[in-house]
Amino acid sequence: MKCIITVLGTDKVGIIAKVCTYLSEVNINILDISQTIVDGYFNMMMIVDISEPLKPMEEVSDELSKIGTDLGVIITMQHEDIFNCMHRI
Domain span including residue 36: 2-86
Residue 20 · residue 62 · CB < 8 Å: no
Confidence of residue 89 (pLDDT cuts 50, 70, 90): low
Q: What percent of the chain has pLDDT over 70?
A: 90
The phi-psi region of residue 40 (left if phi > 0; otherwise alpha if psi is between -120 and 50; otherwise beta) is: left
Number of domains in the chain: 1
Distance separating alpha carbons of residues 24 and 82, to the nearest angstrom: 23
Residue 47 · residue 23 · CB < 8 Å: no
Q: SS3 for 3? A: strand
Question: CA-CA distances (angstroms) from residue 55 to 16, 21, 46, 63?
Answer: 21, 15, 19, 10
Greater model confidence, 14 or 88: 14
| CATH (domain of 76) | 3.30.70.260
pTM for this model (two decimals): 0.88
